[in-house]
Amino acid sequence: MRANGVMRRFEVGSGLGLSEARTKAEGLRRKIKEGADPTAEKRSARQKAISALEGVGTLGSVIDAYFTTGNGAGLKSGETQRKHLKTFFRSLLGKPASDVRSSQLQLVVDAHPARITAARAVAYVGPVLKWARKRDLMRGPFELEKPIVGAPRQRVLDEGELRKLLLTFDDAYGRCCMFLLLTAARRSEAVHATWSQIDLKAKTWTIPGEDRKDTRAQARRNGKPKEALMVPLSQQAVALLKETHRIERARRTNLELPKISPAKDRIFVTDSGGPLINWSRWLTANAKRSGVSGWSAHALRRTAATVAGDLGAAPHVIAAMLGHSNIGGQLVAGYNKSRYRDEHASIIAKIGHRIGELLERTTEASD
């Protein structure tokens, strides 16, 4: 039949009866008269398949584009999110993005054994899908459901559990855990800490505002990060940092690598020099080794706060130690801007002494 003034042959299907073939041919003729190109869809499918083999137009390339040139480029956690998504949805990365459906993504989410990991993937991929749809990179609609996780357990480690764990804090992740316990810091703050933030003479750690958790309303931020937080360091924390520095210096010497750069090099890195990003894997392995399961790095922060309370610290001092902005409640904090630095340093020293004693008794008992 004639299409765009040119006689062409079109397939209507195979194994059809005469009547069915005529019906399909008539439908095809009507589409051509309306301006449709019956072969465009096949050509598009072939081109998408070729592009997918080259990594162009795939779900993987869309994710990369979002975090390099799209809305995700300015996210502080952008690289972490990108790696998480590419690991979680790796079975779909090579598929043409325009062919990926919500149901395919949902099946990957439903099949994942770790519900928290799956919920995090859903949260990360949502903005990517929205961005891609607005640019006709993906079709949608996408309505992914997070797995039911349940209320988080507010875990605080008791003395028996701490004694078991302290003996296993002997690698990069373990040293970071010990640092969290001694400072009551958040995991993200310690993981991103660089050597330039540490002043061993003054025994302080200054956490930049951009590295701190920001719970302020968007209207109050105005593009400004929170104020930097100065954390006093106990004798035990200083000793831990010196030992960590010695280990990293030795690693670099053995591998003939450049010396530590205080401004850019992180304090806590793996044996290969990489960032601490495999916490789930390490916690699983540690549970088998220590016999203590069901805890997270944040449990160390709660435990430090609890130990501080048991040692006699007042609630406002514990709030200052945790880096909370509204010490004593929003009304009181509106008038009182004190960070109780002396009291903060005192309770940090007591926590360090308490953990040091516990470790010493545990080590003696295991010998």
Alpha helices (H) along 207-278: 218-221, 235-254
**Inside any domain, residue 21:** no
Q: Are residues 300 and 229 in the same domain?
A: yes
The predicted structure's pLDDT at residue 18: 77
**Inside any domain, residue 7:** no
Q: Are residues 165 and 278 in the same domain?
A: yes
Q: Are residues 187 and 101 in the same domain?
A: no
**Inside any domain, residue 269:** yes
- Count of domains for the chain: 2
Q: Are residues 112 and 166 in the same domain?
A: no
The predicted structure's pLDDT at residue 4: 54
Q: Are residues 229 and 127 in the same domain?
A: no
330 has a pLDDT exceeding 80: no
**Inside any domain, residue 331:** yes
**Inside any domain, residue 244:** yes
Judge contact between 116 and 150, C-beta under 8 A.
no
User: CA-CA distance, 258 to 261, in Å (whole number)?
Assistant: 8
Q: Are residues 122 and 190 in the same domain?
A: no
User: What 3-state class would DSSP assign to 334?
Assistant: coil
The predicted structure's pLDDT at residue 49: 47
CA R_g for the chain? 29
Q: Are residues 130 and 163 in the same domain?
A: no
Q: Are residues 123 and 250 in the same domain?
A: no
The predicted structure's pLDDT at residue 11: 67
Q: Are residues 105 and 195 in the same domain?
A: no
The predicted structure's pLDDT at residue 116: 86
User: CA-CA distance, 190 to 261, in Å (whole number)?
Assistant: 17
Domain stops at, among 72, 99, 134:
134
The string of pLDDT tens digits covering residues 300-326 is 999 999 999 999 999 999 999 999 887
Q: Are residues 130 and 174 in the same domain?
A: no
Judge contact between 328 and 317, C-beta under 8 A.
no
The string of pLDDT tens digits covering residues 127-168 is 999 999 998 889 889 999 998 766 556 789 999 999 999 999
34 has a pLDDT exceeding 90: no
Judge contact between 10 and 38, C-beta under 8 A.
yes
Q: Are residues 69 and 204 in the same domain?
A: no
- The boundaries of the domain holding residue 251 are 159-217+224-366
Q: Are residues 352 and 228 in the same domain?
A: yes
